[in-house]
């Protein structure tokens, strides 16, 4: 699912406070939860945190952030924190957006294309600053997409997902003492040209195995205290469940031949 957000034509700050921009996609006065006082308070908070660009602060003060979040979260829309917007995505923390926008050092007449996987609000924030303070227009467009949205569209269209062949190896560390050796093994395998990954969250063996299976890895490389002591790794086929011990010295060659 693709979303396209174009800039809102506003000429100055007084217009934001008193009148409604023509053809505005997110009209302020039609939003029951929009609160100019809260929006300006947020802008002042960002200024106190180091945001100095007046155009960026002015844009923050006029963006109806509640238009991008669930109704239940509308009262939290003007807090300096990220908020969920569905499908595992979030609308970014205002300070993050303000800082990255400030670093762009935009000039009147610049054009900005934002491509992201969350909310498209940045496109609006990039579009409005210059016009807000009377310096001319800087066109901004936000394009949002993500794997979750693509999957939703495919489901709506009745398109079946093709089963992908399993590939790669997932290193499963067994016990706290095995993690350092597992990280070293990951490094060695990658240097040898083997597609390999590891669980950086250090979850339990069962959780690691579930993840490896869900992500479609061809095999799991189990490494625990016993394996380390013997200089081997246990390679388990994720489809058949069969497993065998393989010398660590010959592991890369074995996995490349799979």
Query: pLDDT tens, 204-239?
Result: 999 999 999 998 999 999 999 999 999 999 999 999
pLDDT at 8: 31
Q: Taking the CB of residue 33, how many other CB atoms lie within 10 A of it?
A: 16
Which residues are CB-neighbours of 20 under 8 A, at least 6 positions away?
A: 27, 28, 29, 30
3-156 adopts what CATH topology?
Rossmann fold (3.40.50)
| Residue bearing the bigger pLDDT, 186 or 6 | 186
pTM exceeds 0.75: no
| Residue bearing the bigger pLDDT, 233 or 2 | 233
pLDDT at 67: 76
Please give the average per-residue pLDDT across 138-158, as a whole number: 66
The pLDDT tens digits for 81-95 are: 888 776 566 778 899
170/179 Cα distance (integer angstroms): 13
pLDDT at 118: 47
pLDDT at 34: 63
Q: Which of 26, 29, 53 is nearest to 124 (CA)?
A: 26
Contact at 8 Å (CB) between 161 and 152? Answer: no
CATH code assigned to 169-256: 3.40.50.800
The pLDDT tens digits for 97-110 are: 889 888 888 777 77
Contact at 8 Å (CB) between 148 and 84? Answer: no
Q: By percentage, how much of the chain surpasses pLDDT 70?
A: 69
Q: In the structure, what pLDDT confidence band is assigned to residue 120 with cuts at 50, 70 and 90?
A: very low
The pLDDT tens digits for 46-63 are: 999 999 998 888 888 888
| Token pair listed for 208 | 């690691």
Q: Which of 96, 33, 97, 21 is nearest to 69 (CA)?
A: 33
pLDDT at 149: 67
Strands 111-116 and 139-144: parallel
**Phi, psi values for residue 247, rounded to 5°:** -60, 140
The strands making up 111-116's β-sheet, listed across from edge to edge, are: 3-6, 139-144, 111-116
Q: Which of 220, 235, 223, 219 is nearest to 174 (CA)?
A: 223
Q: Where in the chain is the domain with CATH 3.40.50.800?
A: 169-256
Q: Where in the chain is the domain with CATH 3.40.50.150?
A: 3-156
């Amino acid at each position: 699912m693709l979303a396209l957000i174009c800039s809102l034509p506003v000429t100055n700050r007084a217009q934001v406070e008193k009148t409604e921009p023509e053809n505005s996609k997110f009209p302020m006065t039609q939003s029951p939860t929009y609160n100019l006082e809260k929006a300006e308070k947020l802008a002042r908070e960002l200024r106190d945190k180091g945001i100095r660009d007046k155009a960026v602060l002015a844009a923050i003060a006029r963006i109806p952030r509640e238009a991008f979040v669930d109704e239940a979260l509308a009262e939290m829309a003007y807090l300096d924190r990220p908020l969920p917007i569905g499908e595992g995505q979030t609308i970014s923390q205002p300070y993050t957006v303000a800082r990255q926008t400030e670093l762009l050092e935009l000039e009147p007449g610049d054009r900005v294309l934002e491509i992201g996987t969350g909310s498209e609000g940045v496109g609006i924030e990039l579009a409005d600053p210059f016009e807000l303070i009377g310096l001319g227009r800087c066109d901004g467009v936000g394009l949002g997409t993500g794997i979750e949205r693509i999957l939703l569209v495919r489901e709506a269209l009745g398109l079946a997902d093709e089963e992908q062949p399993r590939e790669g190896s997932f290193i499963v560390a067994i016990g706290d003492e095995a993690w350092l050796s597992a990280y070293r093994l990951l490094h060695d395998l990658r240097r040898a040209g083997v597609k390999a990954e590891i669980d950086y969250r250090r979850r339990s063996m069962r959780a690691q195995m579930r993840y490896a299976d869900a992500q479609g890895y061809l095999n799991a490389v189990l490494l625990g205290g016993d394996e380390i002591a013997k200089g081997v790794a246990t390679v388990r086929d994720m489809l058949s469940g069969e497993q065998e011990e393989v010398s660590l010295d010959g592991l890369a060659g074995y996995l490349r031949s799979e």
